Amino acid sequence: MRRTHSYEVKNATAALALIASGVGIGVCSGHLKPIATLQNLKVIPLIEPSITRDFAMYSLRSSEKSPIVETHKALLQEHFSQFGQDCVEDHLWR
């Protein structure tokens, strides 16, 4: 039997609840995996097509940055630089 209905929800946990109740399937962010697992849902990572997402680090516009901010910035740059040279943009320190 082919279902022809589609649902759109604004809350990801509502989508998982619909899936858990047998309504169908859904595509959600990976950070919901623990919740999906608790609801006994099968989690299938999507490989193709790849999905990219923008992330940003925010800071006050003060002239001085605390050592922890600089350390966190360096950690993020080191981690994300493995994905390509243009992956990390340094807007905060301009």
Mean local confidence (pLDDT), 10-17? 89
| Residue 92: per-residue pLDDT | 45
Amino acid residing at 75: L
Rounded Cα–Cα distance for residues 41 and 33 (Å) = 9
| Residue 71: per-residue pLDDT | 86
pLDDT in tens, 42-59: 988 887 777 777 767 777
Average pLDDT, the chain: 78
Tell me the pTM.
Answer: 0.51
Indicate the pLDDT class of residue 94, thresholds 50, 70 and 90: very low
